[in-house]
Amino acid sequence: MADEKVEFELVSPERLLSSEAADMVVVPGAEGDFGVLPRHSLLISGVRTGVIQVWNDNAVTDRIFVAGGFCEVTGERCTVLAEEAVRVEDIDRDAIEAELKDLREDADDAKTPEERAAVEMRIATREAMLAAAA
Amino acid sequence: MASLKDLRNRIASVKSTQKITSAMKMVAAAKLRRAQEQAEAARPYAERMDRMLGSLAASLQGRAGVSPMLAGTGDDRTHLLIAVTSDRGLCGGFNTAIVRRTRQMAAELTDAGKTVKILCVGRKGRDLLRRDWGDAIVGSYTDIGRRRLGFEDADAIAGKVTEMFEAGEFDVCTMIYNRFKSVISQIVTAQQLIPFALPESGAEESGAGASAAVYSYEPDEAEILADLLPRNLAVQVFRGLLESAASEHGARMSAMDNATRNAGDMIKDLTLTYNRTRQAQITKELIEIISGAEAL
C-alpha cells in the first residue's frame, strides 16, 4: 500500500503544468477540500480558488495555486483542469501587487456592471494569490 | 526592347522584393515554431476536457432537462458560422480557402431555407466576406494573438457565442478553421461546437459508458455540466485559434518560400536578358565604329 502512488496531473489551457506521482494530493474542491489517496473512488468535482498540495513522505512537496477549474479522480489518477495555475513559489508578489493596483483603477473606470464584475473577479483572484504566497 | 537602365531597375526591384520575402519566410518559420509549441502545450488540457465531458455526457444521456448546449435546441433553423482567418495576407491560399468554404456552407444553408449568421475572426475574413455576406456578419474580432495568443482571447469569443446562444440567436454553431497538418498542408475543417458533438468512436463510448456509472459528482452533474460546457466551448475555440495560428505561419512560410524562389528565377532571366542586351549594344557600337573607320 505504501508504495502505491496517485498520478497527479495539473493542466491549464496553455500548458501541462505538472505531471508527477504523489502519495496524496489535497484539492480545494467546490464543496470543501478533499485529499486524494491511491484507490480513491471515482469523482468529478469543481475546484474553487485555492492551493493544491502535493504530499510525499508525509510532507508537502509542491504547492500550486489554482483559480477555479475541474478535477477528475480515478483510482490511480488525479487530473486537475485549472483555469489559471501558478506554483506558489513562482508567485511574484511585486508583479501581482502592481497588477492589483492597475485592476483597482480599472474597476473605478469600469462603465458597465459586467465590466466591473469581471475586473472584481480578477482582483479577488489576485488577492487570493497573494494570500497563498504569504 | 527594354533599355538597359530599365532592366537594371527591374533587377534591383526584384532583388529587394526577394529580400523581403526571404525575411518574411524566416520570421514565419520562427513564429511557426512558437505557435506549434503552443498548440502542443494546449493539447493535454483539451484531451482531458474531452474525456471528462465524455463521461459526464454519457451519465446524463437520456435524462430530461439536459443543457441545450449539449443536446441542442431541438431546432436547426439558424446557423452560426465562425470563420477563423488571419489578420494579415501574403500567406497563400490560407484565407481564401476558409472564405470559400464559409461561402459554400452559407449558400447551402440558405438554399435549404435556413438563416445564416457569420462571426469573423481575423481581419481578412471579414474584409472578404463583407462583400457578399455583409448582412449575415454579426461580429468580428481582429488583432487576436498579435503578440501571443492567450486563452483570454478564446474566452472572449466563447463568451460572446454563449451569450448569443442563451439569447436564442442561433441553434447550431460551426467553426471553420485551418487545421495544421504540416508546413505545406493545412486542412480546412468545419467543426460543430454547439450542440456539442461527442466523439463517436466505439472504444470511447464503451469506456465512458462503463466508468460513468460509478462516478460521483461534487456538486451534482447538472451544475458541473453547466460550468463545464461553456468552458469546453472556450477550449475548443482556443484549440481552433491555435491550429489556425500555426497554419497561418506554415502557409505564409511556404508561400514566401515560393515567392523567394520565383524572384530568384526572375532575377536569373532578367540578368540574362540584361547581359544579352548589353552585349548586343556593344557589338552594335563596335560595328558602327568599324564601319565608320572603313568608310574613311
> Each residue of B72-126: pLDDT tens digit?
777 788 999 999 999 988 888 899 999 999 999 999 999 999 999 999 999 998 9
Least confident of B40-44, B171-175, B188-192: B40-44
- Average pLDDT of chain B? 85
Whether residue B227 and residue A9 make contact (CB cut-off 8 A), yes or no, is no
Q: Is residue A84 part of a domain?
A: yes
Based on the domain organization, do A57 and A122 belong to the same domain? no
Which residues does chain A have within 8 Å of residue B224's beta carbon, measured at their own beta carbons? Answer: 44-46, 70
- Whole-number Å distance between alpha carbons of B235 and B59: 22
* Residue among A63, A77, A86, A70 nearest A15 (CA): A86
A80 and A29 co-located in one domain = yes
Residue A1 domain-assigned (yes or no): no
Query: Is residue A129 situated within a structural domain?
Result: yes
Q: DSSP character for B170?
A: -
pLDDT of residue A4: 82
Please tell me whether residues A71 and A123 are part of one structural domain. no
Regarding whether A103 and A48 lie in a shared domain, the answer is no
Would you say residue A133 has pLDDT above 70?
yes
Q: How far is B222 from chain A (nearest CA, A)?
A: 12
Give the residue on A whose Cα is nearest the Cα of B39. A14
User: Do A56 and A121 belong to one domain?
Assistant: no
Note whether A15 contacts B55, CB cutoff 8 Å. Answer: no
- Do A58 and A71 reside in the same domain of the chain? yes
Residues A105 and A60 in one domain: no
Among candidate residues B16, B224, B101, B32, the one with its CA nearest the CA of residue A68: B224
C-beta atoms of B41 and A79 within 8 A: no
- The model's pTM is 0.81
Total domains in chain A come to 2
Same domain, yes or no, for A126 and A67?
Answer: no
User: Does residue B266 register a pLDDT over 70?
Assistant: yes
Q: Which sign, positive or negative, has the C-alpha torsion B100, B105, B109, B112?
A: positive
Q: Establish if A16 touches chain B: CB-CB under 8 angstroms.
A: yes
A72 and A17 assigned to the same domain: yes
Q: Which of A50-59, B47-56, B236-245, B273-282 has the lowest mean pLDDT?
A: B47-56
B residues 236-265 near A, CB within 8 Å?
238
Interface test with A, best of B37, B48, B238, B239 (most A CBs within 10 A): B48
Rounded-to-integer distance, Cα A105 and Cα B143, Å: 25
Burial (CB count within 10 angstroms: exposed 0-12, middle 13-18, buried 19+), residue A99? middle
Domain of A106 in residue numbering reads as 92-133
Q: Of the candidates B111, B112, B117, which has an alpha carbon nearest to the alpha carbon of residue B81?
A: B117
- Put simply, whether B150 touches A (Cβ < 8 Å) is yes
pLDDT bin (cut points 50, 70, 90) of residue A74 is confident
- Residue A117 at interface with chain B, using a CB cutoff of 8 Å: no
Report CA Rg, chain B.
28
In-domain check, residue A50: yes
- Report residue B68's pLDDT band, with 50, 70 and 90 as the boundaries: confident
Same domain, A118 and A84: no
Residue A49 within any structural domain of the chain: yes
In chain B the domains, ranked by start, together with CATH numbers, are: 24-254 (3.40.1380.10)
Q: Is residue A36 part of a domain?
A: yes
pLDDT band at residue B205, thresholds of 50, 70 and 90?
Answer: very low
CA nearest to A28 within chain B: B218
Q: Mutate which of B47, B151, B218, B241 to test chain A, going by most A C-beta atoms within 10 A?
A: B218
Q: Who has greater pLDDT, A106 or B84?
A: B84
Residues of B in contact with A42 (CB under 8 A): 211, 214-216
Annotated catalytic residues of B are 91
Residue A123 within any structural domain of the chain: yes
- How far apart are alpha carbons A74 and B156 in whole angstroms? 32
pLDDT band for position B152 (50/70/90)?
confident
**Is the Cβ pair B219, A42 closer than 8 Å?**
no
- Whether A37 and A61 map to the same domain: the answer is yes
Question: Same domain, yes or no, for A115 and A63?
Answer: no
**Cα B116 vs. chain centroid, distance in angstroms?**
20
pLDDT class of B203 with cuts at 50, 70, 90: very low
Residues of chain B contacting residue A13, judged by C-beta atoms under 8 Å apart: 42, 45, 151, 154, 234-235, 238
Chain A residues close to B216, C-beta within 8 Å: 41-44
CA nearest B38 in A: which residue?
A: A14
The C-alpha cell at B203 is 472504444
Among A16-30, A64-78, B129-143, B261-275, the range with the most confident prediction by mean pLDDT is: B261-275
Q: CA of A115 to nearest chain B CA: how many angstroms apart? A: 12
Q: Closest chain B residue to A42 measured between Cα atoms?
A: B215
DSSP state of B98: H
Angle at B246 between CA A66 and CA B92, to 5 degrees: 155
Identify the DSSP state of B230.
H
A69, A81 Cβ separation under 8 angstroms: yes
Is residue A69 situated within a structural domain?
A: yes
Give mean pLDDT, residues B22-47.
90
Would the CB atoms of B150 and A30 count as touching at under 8 Å?
A: no
Closest CA to B191 of B246, B235, B130: B235
